[in-house]
Structure 1
Amino acid sequence: MTEFHLSMPLKKEELEQLSTGDVVYLTGTVLTARDEAHARILELAGKGEELPFDLEGAAIYHCGPLMRQKDDRWEVVAAGPTTSARMSKMTPRLLDKYNVTALIGKGGMDNVAGSLKGKCVYLAFTGGCAALAAENIREVETVHWPDLGMPEAVWVLRVENFGPLIVGIDAKGNDLFAKIEERARKVFSGLR
């Protein structure tokens, strides 16, 4: 296990260096996106329409933040990760269309390791760390699609040393969560 302090967007050589179990801290821009934002991204892509934000080299954080408006600015109250498995079915199509280099969320993702291979990593943030995550968000740059509601909108966040994040799926196709699940099945089957 190695610790990395990386800046967004991630470079190809940085992606290749990361292995499951490594610890990562990110600095730069991160965009939040949950179920409804993923669906709208794919809908617009299907129509050939441009997005109001850039996903080139982006980090997508599976998060439904709690925000508060103060004067003309937004500030983060809490920004913990949400369950990433909910986005698993949409992720391969998203990665076919856009050059996203990092996905951040809670738990694992089902059947996406092949789609991440050579281009993206999945970084797991421990659930229950909403206050910790908010500490490392320096600024809310803007919000897109507020009509989806606060947790589903796309928030553009500037982060500094955001983490600790654990490489759950690396760009080589290794899936830490799948390995743990397989080991657990073997142990469980031995108990019968």
Structure 2
Amino acid sequence: MDTISAITQRRSVKKYDTSATMPEEDVQHLLDLALLSPTSFNIQNWRFVVVRDPELRKQLRTAAWNQAQVEEAHMVIVICGDIRAWAKSPERYWRNVPEETRNVLVPMIGNYYENAGPQVQRDEVMRSGAIAAQTLMLAAKAMGYDSNPMIGFDPQQVADLIKLPEDHEIVMMVVIGKAAEKARPRGGQLDKCEVVFNDTF
């Protein structure tokens, strides 16, 4: 499936076929594609917790207000971000470029995020994680799978279940699998004139 078709056909699916399987090579291919998602300064601050353990998924479902998709979809990915990724050996983000380029970019990372402060550091995690989530969902659709982004859960309970490090933040969960039912009809798109502006509001 081409990209435009994946964008137009992707819908948030709530009910999944529990008998459907996803080969491990598809799982790994999806994750490999997610790792190509862009991040500021190439800091790759997203983190993906793929929850496979059935008991843990049952507990995750409870934390997600008993939404069945958490157990029924083939994949459950808790997308998180390392708020301080920018400060953790940042030279590794540019290890494959010429030294003169690395010597310019690496100090810029620290200077920017140190001065920008905690709010910008957290915002960066949210931006990066959201882009990665969309990459996962579009890639899944292109590969013949369905998906749903989820914010309907208790973040502290989920953090406890996945043993989230203190300097990390949860962005959202994404479930991926084969739909057992079609998604509901689109609720109603706003007219383009309501959301697109030229030059100024």
TM-score of Structure 1 vs Structure 2, range by shorter chain: under 0.3
Compare the two structures and name the one with the higher helix fraction. Answer: 2
- TM-score w.r.t. length of structure 2: 0.26
Asked which structure has the greater CA Rg, the reply is 2
Higher relative contact order (CA 8 A, sep 6+): 2
